[in-house]
Amino acid sequence: MAAKKKTIQSIIKAVLCLLPLTVGMLGGYVPVQAAPDGVTVTKKQIPVYRKSMSDQETVECTFFSDMPHIPYMPLEVFYTTFMEGQMTVDRNGSRYTYHDVTFGSEAVADAQNDTLTSADMANFLATPVFKQSEGVVLGGPDQMVKIEQTVYDKAASAVTFSLGAYDIDLREENGVLYYPFATVSDLFSNPDVLTAYYADDKIYFEAMYQEINGGEARSENKDYLPWILEEERSADVIAFTYRELCFSVENFYGYPCTHSKFADAVREKGLDAAITAFDPHLKELLLSAKPAEYIAGLYRLFTVRLSDAGHTGADLNSIFTNAAYTAVVLPIFQQEGLYGQEEGVYVDKNRRMLQIHDTLSEQRLETLGTGGYYTQGDTAVISFDSFMVDYEAWDRYFSGTDDLLPDDTIGFVYRCVERADKDPAIRNVVFDLSTNGGGDTTALNAIVGLIRGTFHIHFDTVMGQQGIDQTIVTDRNFDGTIDDRDQAVRYDNLRFAVLSSGYTFSCANMMTALMKEGGFPVLGEQSGGGVCAVLVKATADGLPYRLSAYVRFATDTTNYPDDGIPADHSLVPTNAAGEKDYSGYYDIAAMSQAIERFYAEQDTSVLPQESKESSAESAAEPSAVSTDSSVVSLAESSADRSPSASSVPASTDTTAPQQADTSSNGLAVVLVILFGVIAAAAIAVTVVLLVKR
């Protein structure tokens, strides 16, 4: 059946009737034109690959003859197929009302004017894994992290996505409303990294942040983007991909950058207008018929122009791990000056971060040796480079199948803190985040809760224009239940601090802020920043990219934490030439003295009066650094024992957080685990820069 007709007049009328807050920007586009009467429709069963190329699942996609390479799908079909939920739709003329059957969120599409409106769009787009109420324990190890209360500063603002402003056409056929597959995938991609990619008549679905750089199916099929080797891209894909990029960036980017005129221009005028004003050649690349030039444009857009030092970037791993693709793309990158020659505030910051990481990794090895637990005098240092959770191991532990605490970041830090608490010589504990690029916020929350008890996290959201405060409680004794017994876990005889650096990013930046808000000192230097959740999306032709999301961490400790959290005591002197000296960065005696001064200046009435058998003199004349690589078991950490060091556990892949079966505001729950993708994102920072630096 022919696609529905539209007129320019109807689109103009739709724009004039938009709600006060309309997220979509015009970006210089001509309003959508009516499709010709002669457009025909073709149905295809497209294979879906979730974990393996041997998967047998298929889903029906609809193709229109005027856009033969752009698959379409009903929004409700996409949701029920990929988002693990149920959605119904009621039609009233050209209006389609979507109901989330289980959780009650709604949105309304206007098929005539190509709009999608919701009173709480972030909640509508949140997938069922997030739609849980206050008091529900969140994902992964059950009974570990719980939202006790969520407070919004105001009700969410209604949001309208004006798809027609981007020439993205919603099409009716036999009473069913169809969306471009890429558009509906962009709508429902979220900080849980649930992403569906369409490429070469195949759909790849990837879930959770361990797949941020490529899931199992895509890893099996190294040639999943064969169009890279073709002479030219098809005309419909060229035009639609650019429009879809504009829609995605303008509506879902979190704008964390505080020093980017380009990002400011995108926010104020739209992506197309920003590109036209700042980088016309970029538009030529993105609209190029040559695949390699187009890919260079994507890299230039996400990893250079929209760079925010780690979260936003084009994912080129699937290209630069394929020799045939590399041979086509790399010469263009070199020709365009995109091979380590980029310039920009955040590109330069990213280079500095990588240099700091390498410098400090070498310095720590030289100063402290191997192992993740170091002691000297009255101070213990606990070093860990990411926030990782072994969900399967925690499930086994809580079920009683395993007797020992898992050897992930949570288990490691807990064993180390317990060890320090039982060591009569140790008074200070320093969490070393100097080479930590981020990770899973379940681990972050568990560690902060272990030290602080009940604490608050603050967020703001670009979509819906809300400020959000959450009260978090955690299972501090790791018995599988959050209850009053957790209050008995206290470390009153220990004074805690954080060691941060310019590399300390994302979840590590977040922990630095949360510890500082709790009254604990930050040593070293200002942290690296990173405040947004990460969205993993894909272009209409299947090339993934990362985007800093519309939900941002906020803090009481600095005006805006994207620039990092200032240190209370610097361990990095700077010479007259402005060069930093990291040679004394891991001087544990200096850390001890800084902690002593910090706490001496605080109100001692709020500090525990008990003291261990240690003193400032023991720090001034420190013993040799003690470290080894033995692993402290749960049995050892729960009983009196002689001190022994523990090492950072081997990194393990994590699995999807388990879904709770209760409902409420989806965004509220997203916020607790929204930084769960950051470790992989930070590690994969600007792939091409990492190839040669």
pLDDT in tens, 534-558: 888 999 999 989 888 888 888 765 5
What pLDDT is stored for residue 626 in this prediction? 63
In percent, the amount of the chain with pLDDT more than 90 equals: 47
What pLDDT is stored for residue 601 in this prediction? 86
Q: Which tokens in the block code for residue 96?
A: 């389609």
Please report where in the chains the tokens 């703001």 appear, as a residue.
460
pLDDT band at 438 (very low <50, low <70, confident <90, very high): confident
391 within a domain of the structure (yes/no): yes
Residue 152 pLDDT exceeds 50: yes
Q: What is the CATH number of the domain that holds 435?
A: 3.90.226.10
Identify whether the C-beta of residue 510 lies closer than 8 Å to the C-beta of residue 553. yes
Alpha-carbon Rg of the chain, whole angstroms?
26
Straight-line distance from the first to the last Cα atom of the chain, in angstroms, rounded to the nearest whole number: 55
Max Cα distance, the chain (Å): 88
pLDDT band at 511 (very low <50, low <70, confident <90, very high): very high
Return the amino acid letter for 39.
V
pLDDT band at 688 (very low <50, low <70, confident <90, very high): very low
550 within a domain of the structure (yes/no): yes
pLDDT band at 367 (very low <50, low <70, confident <90, very high): very high
DSSP code, position 165: G
Q: What does the alpha-carbon distance between residue 672 and residue 199 come to, in Å, rounded to a whole number?
A: 32
Residue 143 pLDDT exceeds 70: no
All residues at 6 or more sequence positions from 257 whose CB lies less than 8 Å from its CB, including other chains: 263, 264, 306, 308, 345, 346, 562
Q: How many domains does the chain have?
A: 1
395 within a domain of the structure (yes/no): yes
Residue 677 pLDDT exceeds 70: no
Q: What 3-state DSSP class applies to 324?
A: helix
Lowest mean pLDDT across 212-221, 315-324, 373-382, 384-393: 212-221
Stretch 517-536: mean pLDDT? 88
Q: What does the alpha-carbon distance between residue 182 and residue 198 come to, in Å, rounded to a whole number?
A: 7
459-491, pLDDT tens digit by residue?
Answer: 888 888 888 888 899 999 998 888 899 999 999
Q: What does the alpha-carbon distance between residue 387 and residue 651 come to, in Å, rounded to a whole number?
A: 9
Alpha helices in 192-270 (DSSP H): 216-220, 235-252, 261-269
Q: What does the alpha-carbon distance between residue 314 and residue 303 come to, in Å, rounded to a whole number?
A: 6
In percent, the amount of the chain with pLDDT more than 70 equals: 76
All residues at 6 or more sequence positions from 365 whose CB lies less than 8 Å from its CB, including other chains: none
Higher local confidence (pLDDT), 158 or 12 = 158
Return the amino acid letter for 277.
A
Residue 665 pLDDT exceeds 50: no
687 within a domain of the structure (yes/no): no
Q: What does the alpha-carbon distance between residue 47 and residue 55 come to, in Å, rounded to a whole number?
A: 8
SS (H, E, C) 113-125: CCEEEECCHHHHH
All residues at 6 or more sequence positions from 348 whose CB lies less than 8 Å from its CB, including other chains: none
54 within a domain of the structure (yes/no): no
Q: What does the alpha-carbon distance between residue 60 and residue 171 come to, in Å, rounded to a whole number?
A: 16
What is the model's pTM?
0.77
145 within a domain of the structure (yes/no): no
Q: What does the alpha-carbon distance between residue 141 and residue 51 come to, in Å, rounded to a whole number?
A: 22
Identify whether the C-beta of residue 622 lies closer than 8 Å to the C-beta of residue 380. no
Stretch 363-392: mean pLDDT? 92
53 within a domain of the structure (yes/no): no
50-68, pLDDT tens digit by residue?
Answer: 888 888 899 999 999 999 9
pLDDT band at 211 (very low <50, low <70, confident <90, very high): low
Q: Could you list the residue range(s) of the whole structural domain that residue 523 is in?
A: 346-600+660-677
Q: Which tokens in the block code for residue 606?
A: 């709020």
Residue 222 pLDDT exceeds 60: yes
Q: Which tokens in the block code for residue 206?
A: 């990837």
Q: Which long-range contacts (CB under 8 A, 24 or more apart) does 10-15 make?
A: 10/112, 10/113, 11/113, 11/114, 11/164, 13/113, 14/110, 14/112, 14/113, 14/114, 14/115, 14/162, 14/164, 15/162, 15/165
Q: What does the alpha-carbon distance between residue 77 and residue 178 come to, in Å, rounded to a whole number?
A: 10
What pLDDT is stored for residue 519 in this prediction? 93
Q: What does the alpha-carbon distance between residue 116 and residue 114 come to, in Å, rounded to a whole number?
A: 7
203 within a domain of the structure (yes/no): no
